Amino acid sequence: MSRTTRYGLTLVLGLAIGVGSTAGHRVWADRDPSDALANLPLEELRLFTDVFDRIKRDYVEEVDDKALIESAIRGMLSGLDPHSSYLDEQAYQDLQTGTSGEFGGLGIEIGMEDGFIRVVAPIDGTPAYNAGIQAGDLIIRIDDTSVKGMSMDEAIQRMRGRPGTEITLTIVRETEDVPLKVEIVRDIIQVRSVRSEILEPGFAHVRISQFQSRTGQNLREEIEALREAGDLKGIVLDMRNNPGGVLSAAIDVSDAFLHRGAIVKTEGRTRGARQNFRARSGDILDGAPLIVLVNGGSASASEIVAGALQDHGRAIIMGEPTFGKGSVQTILPLSDRTAVKLTTARYYTPSGRSIQADGIEPDIRLASLRLADDDRPAAERVREANLSGFLDGDDNGERQDTRPSDPREPGSLARRDYQLYEALNLLKGLNLMQSRL
């Protein structure tokens, strides 16, 4: 596994940069320009200017000064870690638009792997999701052009376009013998980051697809709506394939379920990078059972929430180990149009764990499985009621069928989402135990 794959370069197509990072919007503190000049490494800068001059004089084609400087800045930042980057005018605008929940594109989070584009996850309800793009797909061609050797920015620009126009992605999928061609119609992506559904009376499924500025508020609104629909005995909080988002949203979501205590701590070199975030009084579920579903596509802000709820014993974490992005990115504006996204801190769970590169280990591991059809009749055990001349019970002849429904019936939860089905079973068990205490 490549270094880029391990630590992840999670970008949202159309958003370009920012959704996959836990980014706080902070601004460089004012400093005396003379101090900055005094600390410049002059000898190394002479080397830089010498290379710049040689390129300008001797390169086979004329190079624009601005393009050359921007390329140098990008190279300087990309050499630090996979998440630090230069935001040009378009990327900076896309970042600001994306964190509000609306942007143009296909609707996939992507990363670089060995020169190709790896799909981290499709965003729910987007053109890529509806076209059948799956997490783990490797994009090898965009229309008729190979992505081998393309930069991430170039690949993103090719996949962008006017809403209504069509693009063809050639993908390699582990379960398929030959590459697949997938046609997708571009659209304006309006991401609804929180969705909910009633699984069974009293038990709900709440899905957070990414963390935007209003995600915490939207979560509270969804849960209030669930409460109005009936008695809420517990929820499954689903953050599978959630690449993250803004740090404040992760804190708001964690705070919604915690009555007190630490949520997350950040540690960096500057004073502004060292912060402690704590929960305010009040649990929106009033202590009702909570199951959190995660997998390898759960990153950054998702891991903050999972780590906080796990450390406080507020939820059972279920699924697969998470991605392992334990760093914080800060947006440092350079002007009204450009900025630098710089890794400024690491974050730690309430117990002091750093999950950088390791991820959150679930309390209960559950692989992503699909329930296969089996037309063979199931062997049925002989029970008392099957015996000839069995003695009736005390129900005056009124007999109820208490057998559970076959989870393989068409449309059943187990067929649709086996991990969610198992999470629901555990949630019901926890609620039963809690009611008996």
194-214: pLDDT as tens digits: 999 999 999 999 999 989 989
Instruction: List the structure tokens of 30.
Output: 């004012």
Residues 168 and 148 in one domain: yes
Residues 235 and 353 in one domain: yes
Q: Which sign does the torsion angle of CA 16, 17, 18, 19 carry?
A: positive
Mean of pLDDT values over 382-395: 74
Please tell me whether residues 165 and 108 are part of one structural domain. yes
Residue 395: both structure tokens together:
């129900």
Q: pLDDT-based confidence at 373, cuts 50/70/90?
A: low
Q: Are residues 169 and 112 in the same domain?
A: yes
pLDDT at position 260 over 90? yes
Specify the pLDDT at position 402: 47
The total domain count for the chain is: 2
Whether residue 134 sits in one domain with residue 254: no
Who contacts 73 (Cβ-Cβ below 8 Å, separation ≥6)?
86, 340
In this structure, the answer to whether residues 229 and 136 fall within a common structural domain is: no
pLDDT at residue 5 greater than cutoff 50: no
Active site (annotated) includes residue 325: yes
pLDDT value at residue 113: 79
Report how far residue 343's alpha carbon sits from residue 420's, in angstroms, rounded to the nearest whole number.
34
What pLDDT, on a 0 to 100 scale, did the predictor assign at position 389?
A: 75
- pLDDT at position 182 is 96
Q: Is residue 411 part of a domain?
A: no
Choosing from 238, 325, 341, 417, the catalytic residue is 325
CATH number, domain of 7, equals 2.30.42.10
Q: Say if residue 19 is in the same domain as residue 134.
A: yes
56 is annotated as an active-site residue = no
Instruction: Report if residue 36 sits inside a domain.
Output: no
Is 176 in the same domain as 299? Answer: no
| Cβ(244)–Cβ(299) below 8 Å | yes
Residue 191's identity, in one-letter code, is V
pLDDT digit string, tens, across residues 309-367? 999 999 999 999 999 999 999 999 998 889 999 999 999 999 999 989 889 999 999 99
Instruction: Evaluate whether 184 touches 128 at the Cβ level (below 8 Å).
Output: yes
**Which member of 21, 311, 327, 341 is catalytic?**
311
Residue 120 lies inside a defined structural domain of this protein: yes
- Residues of the chain with pLDDT > 90: what percent? 59
Residue 135 — very low, low, confident or very high, per pLDDT cuts 50/70/90?
confident
From the candidates 193, 248, 254, 300, give the one annotated as an active-site residue. 300
The pLDDT of 364-385, averaged and rounded, is 74
Task: Look up the CATH number of the domain holding residue 233.
Answer: 3.90.226.10
- Residue 25 CA to residue 14 CA, distance in Å, equals 20
- pLDDT at residue 6 tops 50: no
Active site residue 114: no
Q: Note whether residue 175 is domain-resident.
A: yes
pTM tops 0.75, yes or no: no
Show the tokens assigned to 74.
């990008």
Reference 364, options 312, 412, 306, 415; nearest CA is: 306
- Domain hosting 215: range is 194-327+346-365
* 74 & 174 share domain: yes
The more confidently predicted of residues 93 and 305 is 305
Evaluate whether residue 433 is within a structural domain: no
